[in-house]
Amino acid sequence: MEKYLSQETTLVVVGGLFTHLIFNRFEPHRPLVWAFLFLAAPLALVRGLHLPYGSLPSLVLKHLSILTLSVVAYRLSPLHPLAHVPGPISLKFSNLVIAYHSVRGKRNDYMEKLHKRYGKIVRIGCDQVSFADAEAAKVCMGTNKGLPRSIGYATAETANTPGSIMTSYAAFYPNPTQVHAERRARWALGFTSKAIRDFDKFLLPRVERLLRKVGEQKGALDLGKWFGYFTFDFMGDLFFDGGFNMLEDQDKGGFWKIIEEFAPAIASLYYLPWLTPVILALPGADDAPINKFVRFAIKCVDGRLAKGNTVKDVFYYIAGEHIEDEDKPKPSREVIDSDVQTGIIGGSDTTASAMANTVFCLLLNPDKLKKLRQEVDATFLGEGVDLNDSAKLAELPYLNACINETLRVFPPVQTRISRGVPRGNGGVHVAGVYLPETTSIDFPPRVIHRDPDYFSPSPDSWLPERWLPDAESTFDQYIMNMDGFMPFSVGPANCVGRNLAMREMRLVIAQLVYKYDVEAAEKNPKEFERQWLAGLQDHQILLKGPLNVVLTPRVATA
Ligand code: HEM
């Protein structure tokens, strides 16, 4: 061997392989540790072999080449613990490719294609799988002993924050289950049935204003945008005692822009958690979308804290304003700042997306729009009717069928409810597949919801009738497996805002079709459909193109 390889080359190879072993074993995420590992072996060589320091750059280059080759070869080899999971080679050697699909915003279509080709489980990164299987989702998200969220949630925040309700449940935290349960308990107080009923004092005036403002617009209007203004204002009521007023001023403050820039960044960095601290350490990082969003959240918290605890909103509970006992610990300012970030995103975009997609589906299916209107008219026509009667709306079968069917075909979180196998637990066996320690598992609701094993017939089609009580006798080969329905996720970390979101959606959709004739501005249904689907961008939240409609006030008839 020595005949062919110089001592220097042999040591470079050994150094590269050894560094790979360290990366593999400890998965460091800090840029300084990376810098150390990139330089340590070449420096040791220079010192050990008494080489000139001028040879350092070329040694570093060789070291990095060996390291890269070793990493790529290992990830593609049968030795890798995820080698048994099928998937395209282009995705196996690095998470960069799936991160690229996330930035493009078409991860939803891409995942659908991958699952059609490779089956229920696909390897989508070096340590990532997508698992479109309801049983696996149930086990991993678990009602009592599920897995925590994956390490990618580290990217949702700047390095040193203590974690929100969302991120504190990530596998990298020392005790995710306990920390999350403590955060979740405070959030849950803000979403009891009573608290939700009390929030009607915010919600009902916002619904009234939304429906008045859209009626005042001349010509076609982008209803999706108006839904966004509405949900953002309502989120502001829930967390910051109001203050955005988008239904009056539209987005003059540029709040949506902050979220629209933040979403693609965070959705792709999820797959590259090591990159976040690097980006945040670069000059000019102050203007990075993550920092802009974090600053925005902090400013909102400053404003709310300055107002004091005059109102029992969600913030009141998550900030521990309800804790009167001086001896009981209150959440730190860092925890509040982190939690509020989850609230801003969770409380605004998701519900707006679901409502926009419901209207889109109704417009493509005028017979079903007519049926929904008949149900709403029949319920609310007459003296003394209360269009704000949420209890009554919750009982309307067709209204609920339309919303649930939209959440099925177009779930606002399309391709990633994520869980991670913690280091040190020896891996897990899920639905017949072994997943080693540190694997990140994405459960893609849109793929699962459109799987004929769970919903038949025509799982890709929007058919509210499948939710009606007589569906079993109306459809041939009827399958409705609710284990495969997870728009709000399941288990201890499922969506805490679910009941509130359903209340919002029922009120808005019912009152919209009651008060207005709604028509698509684009008269060709095929073109209308094409434009809307092309505009949907899956960045974990669902960004949308315009939903241009024409509204005509109507008088309800029996
Ligand atoms: C149609 C509307 C909504 C949908 C489809 C939705 C969906 C989801 C999903 C899929 C998760 C992830 C759960 C997991 O990882 O297992 C989640 C979590 C969460 N959502 Fe929602 N959401 C909606 C509305 C809301 C609203 C209105 C709020 C609050 C104002 C909210 C607050 C949260 C919070 C705080 C979490 C984290 C829960 C935890 O970690 O315990 N969501 N949501």
**ipTM of the complex, rounded to two decimals:** 0.99
Average pLDDT across the chain, whole number: 91
Residues lining ligand 1, Cβ inside 6 A:
141, 165-166, 169, 184, 187, 238, 342-343, 346-347, 350-351, 354, 412-413, 417, 487-489, 493-497, 500-501
> Pick from 457, 378, 486, 369: which is nearest to 135 by CA?
486
Q: What value does the mean pLDDT take over residues 501-509?
A: 98
Is pLDDT of 382 > 60? yes
- Mutational test site, ligand 1, from 495, 498, 508, max ligand atoms within 8 Å of CB: 495
Q: Which atom of ligand 1 is nearest to the CA of 231?
A: 27
495 is in an annotated binding site: yes
**What is the CA(265)–ligand 1 centre distance, in A?**
20
**What is the CA(458)–ligand 1 centre distance, in A?**
28
Confirm if 487 and 408 have CB atoms less than 8 A apart: yes
Name 504's bridge partners.
Answer: none
**What is the CA(259)–ligand 1 centre distance, in A?**
16
Q: Which atom of ligand 1 is nearest to the CA of 165?
A: 40
Q: Which atom of ligand 1 is nearest to the CA of 491?
A: 16
Convert 451-473 to b/e letters by CB count within 10 Å (16 or more is b). beebbbeebeebbbebbeeeeee
Q: What is the pLDDT of residue 158?
A: 45
Is pLDDT of 401 > 50? yes
pLDDT digits (tens, 9 = 90+) for 71-116: 999 999 999 999 999 999 999 988 999 999 988 899 999 999 999 9
Strands 548-553 and 121-123, bridge-based pairing = unpaired
**What is the CA(29)–ligand 1 centre distance, in A?**
27
Q: What value does the mean pLDDT take over residues 478-488?
A: 97
Q: Number of H helices and number of E strands within the chain?
A: 25, 13
pTM: 0.93
Q: List, in sequence order, the alpha helices (H) in 366-468.
A: 366-380, 390-394, 397-409, 445-449
Q: How far is CA 514 from CA 36, 290, 379, 381, 384, in A?
A: 65, 41, 10, 10, 16
Could you count the other beta carbons within 10 Å of the beta carbon of residue 329? 9
Is pLDDT of 369 > 90? yes
Q: Which atom of ligand 1 is nearest to the CA of 502?
A: 1
The model's confidence at residue 159, banded by pLDDT at 50, 70 and 90, is very low
